[in-house]
Amino acid sequence: MPAPTSHTLLLRLRWLQLRRAIPLYGIVLLALAVVLGLRLMHRAMLQDDSYASFIAGGTLLMVWGLHQRRADLHFLSRHVPQACTALVVEYGALVLPVLLVLFLAGAWLEALVLVPVFVLPWLPAVRSSGVRGSWLRRWIPAHLFEWKSLVQRTHPIGLVLWLVALTFCWLPVLPLFLLGAIAMLVAGAQEQCEPRAMLLATASNARALVRLKVFGSMRLMSIIILPVLIAATKFRPVWWWVHALFGVGMVVLVAYSIVLKYANYRPDIRLEANGANVAVAAVFAILPGLALVPLIMLLTEWPKARANLNAFFHAHDH
């Protein structure tokens, strides 16, 4: 007989991961940033009703993408009692703040767009083992294999997100939301640690490796976001500072996810706990003018990454 609290198992697990990944003051800052983001979202919907449709549709797309990329669905179905119910509770907790904002703004019809979130756990996650996006991966340098893996796993979803952002660049919020989703995909791809042999084959020392990975990824991220932000600025010149600060925030977020990975690097291990730290950085990076927070986090982790990698470059017992 399943435990009476099995439907909240995933929520309790996420809370434990969050507590282990960041200190209490970080959780408080994250909560304040989320409240600020929801407040800005509410004000935007009060000024223009059309924002509600984009926010609801973007939230649904985000949760659907999360469900499709989950690698633990098979494990949950076999080992977690009432796994689908637990997933519904987890996804419901994700969309609840957005639903609240939609209700407060009077966007009742747009809130119905989020109803499919509660049936996602019963829908199959489509996975393909074929080679995808080979023409895109040819443009990515060999040492940025995380990007190659990302293209293989997400193509054509990632490309569609970018094309939609570029097509609807005349809208005020949607392009930034979609670019933020792409940045989160890139940051999430940095959780998997490569084998030590691949580490040694990429660079000759820790300093060179961190610089190679960070600046190479920043260059690729800039290539992705600049066309959309430049086009959006053409339609809304008075928003140039918002677009500029947002672009800086996305680039810094990707750089931070890489440095955080190597600060906690262990060969062949997936650093799932890093997701909480990246989420905190993402909240501040998305809000214009607060990219200084993830930048400070980046500079704090940089020496740790070099020190951690030095052990694997120079020790012979790993």
21-39 pLDDT per residue, tens? 777 877 787 788 788 878 8
pLDDT of residue 234: 92
> Crossing angle of helices 292-314/240-263, nearest 10°?
30
DSSP SS3 for 270 = strand
DSSP string, 161-178: HHHHHHHTTTSSSHHHHH
Average pLDDT over the chain reads: 84
Model confidence pLDDT, tens digit, residues 100-117 = 999 988 888 888 888 888
**pLDDT at 220 (0 to 100):** 94
pLDDT score, position 158: 81
Tokens of 9: 């198992």
- Residue spans per domain, the chain: 1-127, 130-318
pLDDT single digits (tens) 131-188: 666 777 888 888 888 888 888 877 777 887 888 888 888 877 788 888 988 998 899 8
Summarize pLDDT for 8-17 with one digit per residue, the tens.
888 888 888 7
Are the C-beta atoms of 286 and 248 separated by less than 8 Å?
no
| Least confident segment among 3-17, 214-228, 292-306 | 3-17
Nearest of 32, 52, 50 to residue 42 by alpha carbon: 52
pLDDT over threshold 60, residue 317: no
